[in-house]
Homo-oligomer: A and B are copies of this chain.
Amino acid sequence: MSGTTEAIVCARDSRPDPCSLCAARHLSVCNVLAEDGLRRLNSISDHQDFGAGEILVREGDPATNLFNITSGAVRVYKLLPDGRRQIVGFLFSGDFLGLATGDRYAFSAEALSTGSACRFQKKSYRKMLVEQPDLETALLDRASHELQAAHNQMLLLGRKTAVERLASFLADLAARDRRAGGAGRIIQLPMTRAEIADYLGLTTETVSRVTSRLKTRGVIRLLSLHSLSIEKPAELAELAGLDAGDGA
């Protein structure tokens, strides 16, 4: 089903054992979903490597595939007819792509960097769901989390200022780093300023200006164009409007 693909994959990665590599990758993903679904997942999925800029999903196309990102990063976005773009999310290793999918994709997805994904067919996926209620429960949980994240992003896009948006974004990345076992101080930005802008509902220029302002205020320190250090986490959190605030 995926023999040649995996061979290519693993040659590219210069690893000795293609199958064990893929199995290992599948394992790390599927563990999250449902341990006892592992064998079945492997049997209906194949492995896909992708290069920077590669299109995984195109808005409007029939939704045939779903993906688990196993390495690298992906941007998920929607376009208006005149080209205005809204990035609805960045996906990283372990993230699932395709929960919000009906018969056709309602978004596009492109690789931000080289990476890889565990890809499976929507058809098999449906069958699998029926046979694997645990998997379904796990997916429902994920959908629930994604929905919460979407609500937070709506709050950001609808009601926050430029500074608050960028601060929220950086705080989110820091939290993600902490969840992944990091200290949440050094942040990698694998995306361009234009992509950050399209995620936050701003322009490149504004992202750049606000970044400068945060730098001047000593809240962050740029290590390079695509990585920075958070010098004052508390101040960043305050700027982000993190206190949940329910009444008053």
Contact = CB atoms under 8 A, between A and B. Distances in A.
B99 A155 contact: no
A13 to B, nearest CB: 32
Contacts of A107: 151
Contact of A158 (B86, B100, B245): B86
A18 interface: no
A157 interface: yes
Contacts of A241: 80-82
Interface of A: 58-60, 78-86, 88, 99-102, 106-108, 129-130, 133, 136-137, 139-140, 143-148, 150-155, 157-160, 198, 200-201, 241, 243-248
A245 B159 contact: no
Contacts of A247: 58, 79
B157 A157 contact: yes
Contacts of A148: 100, 102, 106
Contacts of A154: 78, 86, 88, 150, 153-154, 157
Given A86-B155, A102-B148, A80 B160 contact: yes
A128 to B, nearest CB: 12
Nearest to A141: B102
Contact of A150 (B133, B136, B151, B245): B151
Contact of A83 (B129, B150, B248): B248
B85 A159 contact: yes
Contact of A81 (B157, B198, B245): B245
Contacts of A198: 158
Contacts of A139: 140
Contact of A136 (B86, B101, B133): B133
B151 A100 contact: yes
Contact of A79 (B81, B129, B160, B246): B246
Contacts of A158: 86, 157, 198, 200-201
Contacts of A79: 245-247
A56 to B, nearest CB: 14
Contacts of A99: 143-144, 147
A153 to B, nearest CB: 6
Contacts of A106: 148, 151-152
